[in-house]
C-alpha cells in the first residue's frame, strides 16, 4: 500500500498549544441563561493567524447549547471563544466553524472538535499576538 503526503495548504503555520477556553454559539441562539453567560469549557489545541482548533468534552446540556434546534446538519455556524492569553488578559475570538466532529456518547459525555476560521480583524489580531508570543518564547 502506498501513502501519499498531502501538501500543506494553509497560508499560515499552526502552533500546538493547550489554552483553556470557553465557547458559545452566537449568544442570540441561547435559551439557558447560565450557558449563555458562561459558555462551554474547552481547550484550544492549535492556533494560527486565521484559525484555531478547539476541543471539548460536553454533556447533553452543552451539546444542546452548541447545536440549537435551528441548525441543520450542514448549516454553517459561528462560535465565540473566550480565551485568556499569556498576559492573563481575557479576549474574545469569533470564528466560523469550517468543520466539526462530535463523538457518540461515552458515559453521557461527547467529544467535540471544531476548526474555526477567523474572518474578523479583531479576532485575527488576538491570534496574531498570541502566535507572535509563542514564537518569541520558542526562540528564547
CATH assignment at residue 90: 2.40.10.220
The number of distinct structural domains making up the chain is: 1
Q: Are the C-beta atoms of residues 72 and 50 closer than 8 Å to each other?
A: no
120 vs 45: CA distance, rounded Å = 21
Is the pLDDT at 22 greater than 90, yes or no? no
Contacts of 28 (CB under 8 A, 6+ apart): none
Is residue 106 situated within a structural domain?
yes
Is residue 3 situated within a structural domain?
no
Residue predicted with more confidence, 63 or 20: 20
pLDDT at res. 9: 63
Is residue 66 situated within a structural domain?
yes
pLDDT at res. 136: 72
Is residue 126 situated within a structural domain?
yes
Range of the domain at 50: 15-139
Q: Are the C-beta atoms of residues 25 and 96 closer than 8 Å to each other?
A: no
Q: Are the C-beta atoms of residues 49 and 124 closer than 8 Å to each other?
A: yes
Is residue 79 situated within a structural domain?
yes
Is residue 96 situated within a structural domain?
yes
Burial grade of 94 (CB within 10 A; 0-12, 13-18, 19 or more) = middle
Is residue 88 situated within a structural domain?
yes
Is residue 32 situated within a structural domain?
yes
- Which tens digits make up the pLDDT trace of 78-94? 788 888 766 777 888 88
Amino acid at each position: 500500500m502506498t501513502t501519499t503526503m498531502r501538501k500543506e495548504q494553509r497560508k499560515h503555520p499552526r502552533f500546538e498549544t493547550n489554552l483553556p477556553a470557553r465557547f458559545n454559539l452566537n449568544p442570540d441562539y441561547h435559551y439557558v441563561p447560565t450557558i449563555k453567560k458562561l459558555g462551554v469549557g474547552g481547550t484550544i489545541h492549535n492556533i494560527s493567524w486565521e484559525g484555531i482548533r478547539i476541543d471539548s468534552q460536553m454533556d447533553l446540556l452543552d451539546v444542546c447549547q452548541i447545536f440549537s434546534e435551528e441548525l441543520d446538519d450542514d448549516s454553517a455556524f459561528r462560535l465565540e471563544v473566550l480565551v485568556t492569553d499569556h498576559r492573563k488578559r481575557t479576549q474574545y475570538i469569533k470564528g466560523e466553524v469550517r468543520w466539526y466532529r462530535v463523538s457518540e456518547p461515552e458515559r453521557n459525555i461527547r467529544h467535540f472538535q471544531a476548526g474555526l476560521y477567523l474572518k474578523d480583524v479583531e479576532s485575527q489580531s488576538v491570534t496574531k499576538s498570541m502566535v507572535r508570543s509563542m514564537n518569541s518564547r520558542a526562540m528564547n
